[in-house]
Structure 1
Amino acid sequence: MQSPANGHTDTTALSHVPRHEIVSHTISMQGHRVFYLSCGPQDGVPVVLVHGWPELSWSWRHVLSHLGGMGFRAIAPDMRGYGRSQVYDDPAAYALRHQVADLTGLADALGLKRAVWVGHDWGAPAVWSVASHHPDRCHGVANLCVPYRTLEFGMEHMLPLVDRTLYPEDSAPYGQWAYQRFYVEQFDRATSVMEADVLCTVRALFRHGKPEALGKPSPHADIFRNGGWFGGADKAPDLPLDTRVLTETDLAIYTDALSRNGFRGPNAYYLNDADNAAYSATALNGGRLDMPVLFLAGRYDITCESVDSRLAEPMRESCRNLTERIVHSGHWMAQERPERVHLELTRWLLTKMPHLVPDDAAPTP
């Protein structure tokens, strides 16, 4: 089902859709095309779910059904460069300021004055930036894996937070963030390897978290030493599908989208550190967040390690009403442990914003 180009959804057509059913839409905003999924009643409190690299709105499939079933109006867009949203050739088009404009523009087009915003991976700095630059648009914000005041300021800003017991400065100067520097220095190499066999790339990337990896360096730290992704190979390894994270249907959806658009747009998100830092420096209230904030740390996410390292310290200093929870998952938290993510989101909403929770809230299994 598509929304008209002027951005107004056909509420009559949607009124008969079961509130746990996910519906597809496409909308055009001043020439910028956004594809998004929605679930739940049109008059429900909006929750906007923002995916990261290299994902899709489909990454939120479990959360969409859960929130829609509770009576929220859950909305998940394909971010620019992904899926069926607009793709741009210029790497500068993927700076945070444009991501935020897309999200607030989508909210305007759908008539959403305020929302609960939820992000993961690159979706987290986008959501943090909505909160810091447009706090009046936020009931509250929740993010998975990437703490506040880290990635939105760029790699150099995160280096002082690196655990140097795991990543000695002489042998691993960029720590676990070396892969981000690799995009800057060898963008074409990184992109061509990922595009060489997209099916294998997706299977290789989407793996569950492993407890035995705790306390060990992230493989991303060795990317320069190896000569690139996947140990320096020219394509991703041919691994079996990790069914703890994706089904065959999910694999096909990701593979189709990334084959159609390629990885240049998604990878270009890493090329805008200077612009992102300048934009983040203009945040209101010095970047301090006063609304309810939830952060879910992935216990086995050894790259965005936020439990034992100092990575979350800037967030703790900048959020007045912060709730932190640990989910025993790897990086793909909402897909690996959806039930736990549902529980933590629901508990936070009921505790911090009970007035937003529908009286007849009945989450789907």
Structure 2
Amino acid sequence: MIRNVFSTGRHRTSYWTGGPANGPLMIFIHGWPELSSMWWHQLECFSALGFRCVAPDMRGYGGSSQPSSLGDFALEHIVEDMLELLGGLGAERALWIGHDWGAPVVWSLASHHAGKCIGAVNLCVPYLANGFAPPNLVPLVNRTLYPEAQYPAGQWDYMLFYEKDFEAVRAVFEANVPALFKALIRRGSAEAVRKPSRTATVSRDGGWFGGASQAPVLPRDEAVLSQEALDRYVEAFETNGFFGPNAWYMNHRQNMAYAAKAPGEGKLRLPVLFLHAAYDAVCETMDSRLAEPMRRDCLDLTEAVLETGHWMVQEQPERVNAAIARWLAARVPEFWPFQEYRKPEV
């Protein structure tokens, strides 16, 4: 893989790239709180298959621009970053793949700029045509698990706390960055999704981690977080802090207004693959109604369920790759490289 930077007058994007320069373009969009390197397994796999693979550090992360205004992290600006990157790569269209907050970026590209998309693949966060924001998420909460009187915002309570005390959240995350990543990036389990997520009580507790001043010190979960990956996260987030990553949560009104501008009421007609994480306690799509709007508004939707937690790219990289490859072969076969191959006639 090669590290590159693309800059315009408004933004700088640092990214990893691999595969042949003339291969079909796949762009992988990370979420919170990660880096482009989270996609390493996918970059290696699909580059080896002949695709041109690109994974950028998103706005506020790693080597990309670090704006200082909260409003600079609205989705409309971030989508423009990706369109500029696409043009800088000399491409008209790409297959876009997103995880966590990367998924709303990809959904926004698909809904507002379908002509720039071969298709869309998203992990964990399903499509909400009216915007990925608490007013649209809370009505879809599983009220059997989250009784409204006790958990008015369900597992999305943590989003509201960013708006209540942005600097307090930032201080807790920055107090011990190694501990934070070891506490966050862990395997999922069937047991975890049978009880309320810790994100449901952040406001009641007065902050993350039960209101503590920093993340708890836990052993690294070697199944999902290598020492090399942890070192990269620590270096990047101790350098840049959490202003930018957390600011993505501070633009819900702007993001809903942007979603409302999508043509055709936000209906997606291009091929879409969504990967459910069966053991994701926050983006819980198995027992709640969270995926229902996506099924209504994506007209060419394929779904697959992986028995993983939220960090599925690290927990089950081979299964993620296989799911994407199977879908490509079935729904977008013309996108595959090396089209000179033809099955011999019998």
Residue number among 192, 215, 240 corresponding to 1:261 in the alignment: 240
Task: Look up the match of 2:215.
Answer: 236
Q: Is the 8 A contact 2:130 2:260 kept in 1?
A: no
Percent of residue pairs identical: 49
Alignment deviations for residues 166-218 of structure 1 (CA, whole Å, 9 cap, x no partner): 11111111100000000000111111000001111111111111122132111
Residue number among 21, 36, 52 corresponding to 2:31 in the alignment: 52
Distance between the aligned counterparts of 2:129 and 2:199, measured in 1?
17
Distance between the aligned counterparts of 2:125 and 2:10, measured in 1?
31
Aligned residues: 340
Q: Is the 8 A contact 1:349 1:357 kept in 2?
A: yes
Three-state SS of the structure 1 residue aligned to 2:125 is coil
Distance between the aligned counterparts of 1:155 and 1:130, measured in 2?
21
Task: Look up the match of 1:328.
Answer: 307
TM-score using structure 2 length: 0.96
Residue number among 149, 158, 167 corresponding to 2:128 in the alignment: 149
Question: CA distance change for structure 1 residues 150 and 233 in 2, over 3 Å: closer, same or farther?
Answer: farther
By how many angstroms is 1:360 displaced?
A: 8.0
Distance between the aligned counterparts of 1:212 and 1:103, measured in 2?
38
Q: Is the 8 A contact 2:30 2:99 kept in 1?
A: yes
Residue number among 89, 96, 108 corresponding to 1:110 in the alignment: 89
TM-score using structure 1 length: 0.91
Task: Look up the match of 1:274.
Answer: 253
Distance between the aligned counterparts of 1:216 and 1:161, measured in 2?
17
Q: Is the 8 A contact 1:150 1:158 kept in 2?
A: no
Residue number among 49, 62, 67 corresponding to 1:83 in the alignment: 62
Task: Look up the match of 1:15.
Answer: none
Distance between the aligned counterparts of 2:305 and 2:220, measured in 1?
26
Residue number among 48, 57, 64 corresponding to 1:69 in the alignment: 48
Residue 64 of structure 2 is aligned to residue 92 of structure 1: no
* Unpaired runs of at least 5, structure 1: 1-21
Residue 168 of structure 2 is aligned to residue 189 of structure 1: yes
Q: Is the 8 A contact 1:297 1:324 kept in 2?
A: yes
Q: Is the 8 A contact 1:162 1:311 kept in 2?
A: yes
Q: Is the 8 A contact 1:179 1:220 kept in 2?
A: yes
Task: Look up the match of 2:343.
Answer: none
By how many angstroms is 1:153 displaced?
A: 3.7
Distance between the aligned counterparts of 1:50 and 1:72, measured in 2?
16
Residue 320 of structure 2 is aligned to residue 341 of structure 1: yes
Q: Is the 8 A contact 1:150 1:311 kept in 2?
A: no
Alignment deviations for residues 274-320 of structure 1 (CA, whole Å, 9 cap, x no partner): 00000000012110111100000100001100112100000000011
Question: CA distance change for structure 1 residues 151 and 303 in 2, over 3 Å: closer, same or farther?
Answer: farther
* Counterpart amino acid of residue 242 in structure 2: F
Q: Is the 8 A contact 1:208 1:244 kept in 2?
A: yes
Query: After the TM superposition, which parts of structure 1 deviate over 4 Å for at least 4 consecutive aligned residues?
Result: none
Distance between the aligned counterparts of 2:166 and 2:89, measured in 1?
36
Residue number among 192, 199, 202 corresponding to 1:213 in the alignment: 192
Task: Look up the match of 1:355.
Answer: 334
Q: Is the 8 A contact 1:125 1:151 kept in 2?
A: no
* Counterpart amino acid of residue 244 in structure 1: A
By how many angstroms is 1:359 displaced?
A: 2.9
Task: Look up the match of 2:7.
Answer: 28
Distance between the aligned counterparts of 2:229 and 2:311, measured in 1?
13
Three-state SS of the structure 2 residue aligned to 1:291 is coil
* Counterpart amino acid of residue 25 in structure 1: N
By how many angstroms is 1:231 displaced?
A: 1.4
Residue number among 120, 132, 145 corresponding to 1:166 in the alignment: 145
Q: CA RMSD of the aligned region, Å?
A: 1.2
Three-state SS of the structure 2 residue aligned to 1:214 is helix
Question: CA distance change for structure 1 residues 268 and 150 in 2, over 3 Å: closer, same or farther?
Answer: farther
Distance between the aligned counterparts of 1:216 and 1:347, measured in 2?
33
Q: Is the 8 A contact 2:156 2:199 kept in 1?
A: yes
Question: CA distance change for structure 1 residues 150 and 244 in 2, over 3 Å: closer, same or farther?
Answer: farther
Alignment deviations for residues 57-106 of structure 1 (CA, whole Å, 9 cap, x no partner): 01111111111011000101000000000001100000000110000110
* Unpaired runs of at least 5, structure 2: 341-346
Residue number among 305, 318, 324 corresponding to 2:284 in the alignment: 305
Task: Look up the match of 1:287.
Answer: 266
Q: Is the 8 A contact 1:51 1:78 kept in 2?
A: yes
